[in-house]
């Protein structure tokens, strides 16, 4: 018998148990074990019913994603499920944990389903750029109707057992003793000679679906899931379930599944699945590094970031005290946090009780003496080294030994900040992204002296507050903002060469970015970059006259972005919709003329290369300088922090799909035109010369 599938006889019932830790994925040995077990149960005359259950933390959580993209070992899952489906004795799937993807498809191929009330089910394939490829798209609509099936399949969301039972997906719910209850259920079905309920024998009830239902559904999804191929294919398969006989529907499902499996989008999304989990691993941190308990947190500065950061902790059930120097500023921060929870409550996103408790967990103070008991501090005051130094001196004075002191700085040197304390080993950067309560990225900036224990605690904490933590070394802008510089520089340069803000934004939006660089600039405020450039000029930095040239002139005209109603675009009162503005075109034309730059026709492809290739080149430098652990971490930073399109897998994965030799060739061409801002990173040259990818590192 297979090592991962156990067969036991319990009176007249065969109990087939999968044991393939950690999540009972349907690896080749499980598939073979199941086929053998089904055949044995069907043949043994003493057996009158079958229970399929799992050991460990969950029912089967899906196909084995690590086998995807490689030659598939026989038997394939559809064959396994065909064998299960054909069984002549009642079969019961016993669900606990999360029955996902191929796991739920397996359960749907049983005649009946029993579940613990704590269980959940789902078809998350769409999140991997796929569709359920083993009958899920054909069986589920037949069982619960097209509408509910489409919701589950195209969103990939998990439904709790109770909801699934209401839909008719689960036949019986139990609080505990799943195995015993499942065996009793199978026996009951055998004794009553219950019908062998096969989804394939059912018809989808389409009578309540309006005309054009599937076309409209796709239109809605195309907007919501802009650029993604899989959700639309999911709709097609459900439509087939409504219009074709089961076997033909299965064939269509398989065809589309294999198409998606071979697509770059799915490869990108599978890459991100593993990248996200890998990011949590700090390679040089001993596995058993101790972590510190974090039960109470302080945030210094209750501005845009401080208030958002406080919400992140409160949402995770951790009390937070915000400190400000003046009551007025503190009140503003508290009001902003409290109105966020009022809004969640009003929109039904949080129950009134949850929202009130979360709001009550955020308190305020004007005195450092109230911070003696906190386990972690996040400083989010103005971006000035002098002010940060003052704050850290105070923190060093009042915080208890062992408290972790962190800074949310986006540009300042974390080691310099740590140096004013007597405990630099307890200091690190925790760089949140705006809006902090929404964006999932947390750059965990490891200072020169940050201790292993402090780093391990921060990485663990990231998960606790539902963020994806990525370790960065201390360099200018850390991983994300360091890369952003080239992107912004080129966006500004393209304007001077004749591209318009709407053109650049449209190209990048169509590439899949959450928004284009000009819209992003207007949202963040053009005055921020203006001030940074002014400071750099005062410091005597050599800034090329083209850098930020258009933005600077716009700011000088009072056009700071959305907050002033105009920036690269104009905005109507109370609206965030960017409207192209002839005045901006004039400013651009005048600035170009002053700098002696001729306008020309700029292709969409050039816009993509000029903006994305600097990201790739800078990332290669960051990798070889050792400020990021691995290319996939950089992908996670740009996906979760900067709205890079998920279906492109992040800038590193994207570079691999274009081909590093091609990327390098273009970079060299731009270097000839624009100078050493485009100097190729040695790592990129090396990989390209060896015909390798970033993924090979």
The count of other CB atoms within 10 Å of the CB of residue 296 is 17
Residues that bind ligand 3HC (CB under 6 A): 22-23, 25, 58, 61-66, 77, 98, 100-102, 105, 124-125, 128, 130, 132-134, 136, 277
Closest of 273, 285, 281, 213 to residue 243, by C-alpha: 213
Shortest distance, position 400 Cβ to ligand NAI, whole Å: 20
Shortest distance, position 81 Cβ to ligand 3HC, whole Å: 9
Query: What element of type H or E holds 517?
Result: helix 517-524
Q: Give the CA-trace dihedral at 231, 235, 237, 242, to 10 degrees.
A: 160
Regarding 512 and contact with ligand NAI (CB under 6 A), the answer is: no
173 phi and psi angles, rounded to 5 deg: -110, 140
Q: Indicate the residue among 184 and 523 with the shorter CB distance to ligand NAI.
A: 523
Task: Say which entry of ligand NAI, ligand 3HC, none residue 574 contacts (CB below 5 to 8 A, set by partner kind).
Answer: none
Regarding 387 and contact with ligand NAI (CB under 6 A), the answer is: yes
Task: Say which entry of ligand 3HC, ligand NAI, none residue 133 contacts (CB below 5 to 8 A, set by partner kind).
Answer: ligand 3HC
Regarding 429 and contact with ligand NAI (CB under 6 A), the answer is: no
Q: Indicate the residue among 263 and 304 with the shorter CB distance to ligand NAI.
A: 304
Q: Indicate the residue among 432 and 694 with the shorter CB distance to ligand NAI.
A: 432
Regarding 306 and contact with ligand NAI (CB under 6 A), the answer is: yes
Q: What is the DSSP letter of 12?
A: T
Shortest distance, position 392 Cβ to ligand NAI, whole Å: 10
Shortest distance, position 163 Cβ to ligand NAI, whole Å: 37
Task: Say which entry of ligand 3HC, ligand NAI, none residue 611 contacts (CB below 5 to 8 A, set by partner kind).
Answer: none
Task: Say which entry of ligand NAI, ligand 3HC, none residue 65 contacts (CB below 5 to 8 A, set by partner kind).
Answer: ligand 3HC
Q: Indicate the residue among 12 and 27 with the shorter CB distance to ligand 3HC.
A: 27
Closest of 318, 364, 317 to residue 337, by C-alpha: 364
Regarding 301 and contact with ligand NAI (CB under 6 A), the answer is: yes
Catalytic annotation, pick one of 3, 48, 105, 293: 105
Task: Say which entry of ligand 3HC, ligand NAI, none residue 125 contacts (CB below 5 to 8 A, set by partner kind).
Answer: ligand 3HC
Query: Residue 399: left if φ>0, alpha if ψ -120 to 50, beta else—which one?
Result: beta
Regarding 434 and contact with ligand NAI (CB under 6 A), the answer is: yes
Task: Say which entry of ligand NAI, ligand 3HC, none residue 23 contacts (CB below 5 to 8 A, set by partner kind).
Answer: ligand 3HC
CB burial of residue 372 (10 Å; 0-12, 13-18, 19+): exposed
Q: Which of 41, 241, 377, 381 binds ligand NAI (CB under 6 A)?
A: 381
Regarding 302 and contact with ligand NAI (CB under 6 A), the answer is: yes
CB burial of residue 684 (10 Å; 0-12, 13-18, 19+): buried
Regarding 324 and contact with ligand NAI (CB under 6 A), the answer is: yes
Shortest distance, position 604 Cβ to ligand NAI, whole Å: 29
Q: Which of 114, 300, 430, 687 binds ligand NAI (CB under 6 A)?
A: 300
The count of other CB atoms within 10 Å of the CB of residue 669 is 12
Task: Say which entry of ligand NAI, ligand 3HC, none residue 324 contacts (CB below 5 to 8 A, set by partner kind).
Answer: ligand NAI
Regarding 410 and contact with ligand NAI (CB under 6 A), the answer is: yes
**Which residue blocks in 129-209 are alpha helix, DSSP H?**
136-144, 146-155, 161-167, 178-191
Rounded CA Rg of the chain: 29
For residue 302, the cross-strand partners are none
Q: Indicate the residue among 97 and 641 with the shorter CB distance to ligand 3HC.
A: 97
Residue number of the CB closest to ligand NAI reads 303
Q: Which of 376, 391, 442, 518 binds ligand NAI (CB under 6 A)?
A: 391
| Residues 54, 308: Cα–Cα separation, whole Å | 41
Clarify whether 105 is annotated catalytic: yes
116 phi and psi angles, rounded to 5 deg: -70, 150
Q: Is the dihedral of CA 69, 74, 77, 82 positive or negative?
A: positive
Size of the site for ligand NAI (CB under 6 A): 24
- Strand order of the sheet with strand 13-18? 5-10, 13-18, 49-54, 91-95, 112-116, 172-174
Stretch that binds ligand NAI, among 5-13, 75-83, 303-311, 352-360 (CB under 6 A): 303-311
CB burial of residue 104 (10 Å; 0-12, 13-18, 19+): buried
Q: Indicate the residue among 380 and 637 with the shorter CB distance to ligand NAI.
A: 380
Stretch that binds ligand NAI, among 105-113, 144-152, 323-331, 543-551 (CB under 6 A): 323-331
Regarding 441 and contact with ligand NAI (CB under 6 A), the answer is: no
| Residues 403, 562: Cα–Cα separation, whole Å | 39
Q: Are strands 5-10 and 172-174 parallel, antiparallel or unpaired?
A: unpaired
Q: What is the DSSP letter of 247?
A: H
SS (H, E, C) 325-345: CCHHHHHHHHHHHHHHHHHHH
Regarding 304 and contact with ligand NAI (CB under 6 A), the answer is: yes
Beta strands in 458-577 (DSSP E): 468-472
Catalytic annotation, pick one of 44, 48, 67, 125: 125
Q: Applying CB under 6 A, which residues contact ligand NAI?
A: 300-306, 323-325, 329, 380-383, 387, 390-391, 408-410, 432-434
Q: Which residues are catalytic?
A: 105, 125
């Amino acid at each position: 018998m297979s090592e991962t599938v156990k067969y036991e006889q319990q009176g007249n019932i065969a109990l087939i148990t999968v044991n393939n830790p950690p999540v009972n994925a349907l690896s080749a040995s499980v598939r073979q074990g199941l086929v053998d077990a089904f055949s044995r149960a069907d043949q043994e005359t003493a057996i009158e019913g079958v229970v399929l259950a799992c050991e460990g933390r969950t029912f089967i959580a899906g196909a084995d994603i690590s086998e995807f993209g490689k030659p598939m070992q026989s038997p394939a899952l559809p064959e396994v499920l065909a064998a299960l489906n054909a069984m002549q004795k009642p079969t019961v799937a016993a669900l606990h944990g999360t029955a996902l993807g191929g796991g739920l498809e397996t359960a749907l191929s049983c005649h009946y389903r029993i579940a613990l009330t704590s269980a959940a089910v789902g078809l998350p394939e769409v999140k991997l750029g796929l569709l359920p490829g083993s009958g899920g798209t054909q069986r589920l609509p037949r069982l619960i109707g097209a509408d509910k099936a489409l919701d589950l399949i195209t969103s990939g969301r998990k439904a709790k057992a109770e909801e699934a039972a209401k839909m008719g997906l689960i036949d019986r719910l139990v609080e505990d003793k799943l195995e015993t209850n499942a065996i009793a259920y199978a026996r009951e079905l055998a004794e009553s000679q219950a019908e062998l309920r096969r989804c394939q024998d059912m018809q989808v009830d389409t009578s309540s679906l309006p005309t054009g239902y599937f076309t409209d559904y796709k239109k809605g999804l195309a907007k919501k899931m802009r650029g993604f191929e899989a959700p639309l294919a999911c709709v097609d398969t459900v439509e087939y379930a409504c219009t074709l006989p089961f076997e033909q529907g299965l064939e269509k499902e398989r065809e589309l599944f294999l198409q998606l499996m071979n697509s770059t989008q799915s490869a990108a999304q599978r890459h991100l699945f593993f990248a996200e989990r890998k990011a949590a691993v700090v390679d040089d941190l001993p596995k058993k590094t101790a972590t510190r308990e974090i039960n109470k947190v302080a945030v210094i500065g209750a501005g845009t970031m401080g208030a958002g950061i406080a919400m992140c902790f409160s949402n995770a059930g951790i009390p937070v005290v915000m400190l400000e120097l003046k009551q007025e500023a503190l009140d503003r921060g508290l009001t902003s946090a409290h109105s966020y929870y009022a809004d969640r409550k009003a929109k039904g996103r949080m129950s009134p009780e949850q929202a009130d408790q979360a709001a009550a967990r955020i308190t305020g103070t004007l005195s450092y003496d109230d911070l003696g008991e906190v386990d972690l501090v996040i400083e989010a005051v103005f971006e000035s080294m002098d002010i940060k130094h003052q704050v850290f001196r105070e923190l060093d004075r009042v915080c208890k030994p062992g408290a972790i002191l962190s800074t949310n700085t986006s540009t300042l040197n974390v080691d310099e900040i740590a140096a004013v304390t007597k405990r630099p080993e307890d200091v690190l950067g925790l760089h949140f992204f705006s809006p902090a309560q929404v964006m999932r990225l947390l750059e965990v900036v490891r200072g020169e002296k940050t201790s292993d224990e402090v780093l391990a605690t921060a990485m663990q904490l990231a998960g606790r507050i539902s963020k994806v933590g990525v370790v960065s070394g201390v360099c200018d802008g850390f991983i994300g903002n360091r890369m952003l510089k080239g992107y912004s520089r080129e966006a500004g340069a393209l304007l001077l060469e004749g591209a318009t803000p709407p053109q650049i934004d449209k190209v990048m939006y169509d590439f899949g970015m959450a928004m284009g660089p000009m819209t992003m600039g207007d949202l963040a405020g053009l005055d921020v970059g203006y001030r940074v450039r002014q400071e750099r000029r005062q410091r005597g930095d050599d800034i090329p006259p083209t850098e930020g040239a258009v933005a600077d002139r716009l700011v000088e005209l009072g056009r700071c972005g959305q907050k002033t109603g105009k920036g690269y675009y104009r905005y109507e009162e109370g609206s965030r919709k960017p409207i192209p503005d002839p005045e901006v075109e004039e400013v651009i034309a005048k600035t170009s003329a002053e700098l002696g730059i001729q306008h020309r026709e700029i292709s969409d492809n050039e816009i993509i290369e000029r903006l994305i290739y600097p990201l790739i080149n800078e990332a290669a430098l960051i990798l070889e300088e050792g400020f990021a652990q691995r290319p996939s971490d950089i992908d996670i930073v740009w996906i979760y922090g900067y709205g890079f399109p998920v279906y492109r897998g992040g800038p590193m994965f994207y570079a691999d799909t274009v081909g590093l030799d091609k990327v390098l060739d273009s970079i060299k061409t731009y270097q000839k035109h624009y100078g050493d801002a485009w100097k190729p990173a040695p790592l990129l040259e090396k990989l390209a010369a060896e015909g390798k990818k970033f993924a090979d590192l």
